[in-house]
Amino acid sequence: MKNQTTSGVSKRMMSIWNNFKWFIKEVALIYSSGRSFFSKKRVESGAAFIIAQWGMVFFLIKKYQTLSMTDFLLWASVEFAVSGYLIHKIEQSKKLDSTLTTAGEEETDK
């Protein structure tokens, strides 16, 4: 019974290690000329969003005792503006990628 448990843990650790190696390889490919599973634009916009969120939450935690309702509404408006801007940019990128893919298929058909 102990051997089976050890074997199961070993397989699980090997699976985690393989996934970690794959992730690191794909992250390295983002900034190389090779094709990556991850999109450079999305990784960068995601990082920017996380940094903006961290800053906004930090501000809220530090200032929550002195915030008036107007200040809080302004804070919430900025939150929604940042989120809306990033979603808009992602959708715009998807639309552009879709248009380029369709145009590329038409050129190869000719």
- Name every residue whose Cβ is closer than 8 Å to that of residue 59 and which is 6 or more positions away in sequence: 75
Q: Which of the 8 DSSP states describes residue 6? A: H
The predicted pLDDT at position 63 comes to 80
pLDDT score for 104: 57
Q: Which of the two residues, 52 and 81, has the higher pLDDT score?
A: 81
Encode pLDDT of 88-101 as tens digits: 877 887 777 777 66
C-beta pairs of 83-92 under 8 Å, 24+ apart in sequence: 83/49, 86/45, 86/48, 86/49, 89/45, 90/42, 90/45
| pTM recorded for the entire structure | 0.50
Q: What are the Cα distances from residue 50, in Å, to 56, 97, 98, 107? A: 10, 24, 27, 39
The predicted-structure confidence for 1-32, as pLDDT tens digits, reads as follows 455 556 777 888 888 999 999 888 888 888 77
Domain coordinates in residue numbering, the chain: 1-38, 39-110
pLDDT of residue 105: 53
**DSSP states of 25-79 as a string?**
HHHHHHTSSS--SS-HHHHHHHHHHHHHHHHHHHHHHHHTTT--HHHHHHHHHHH
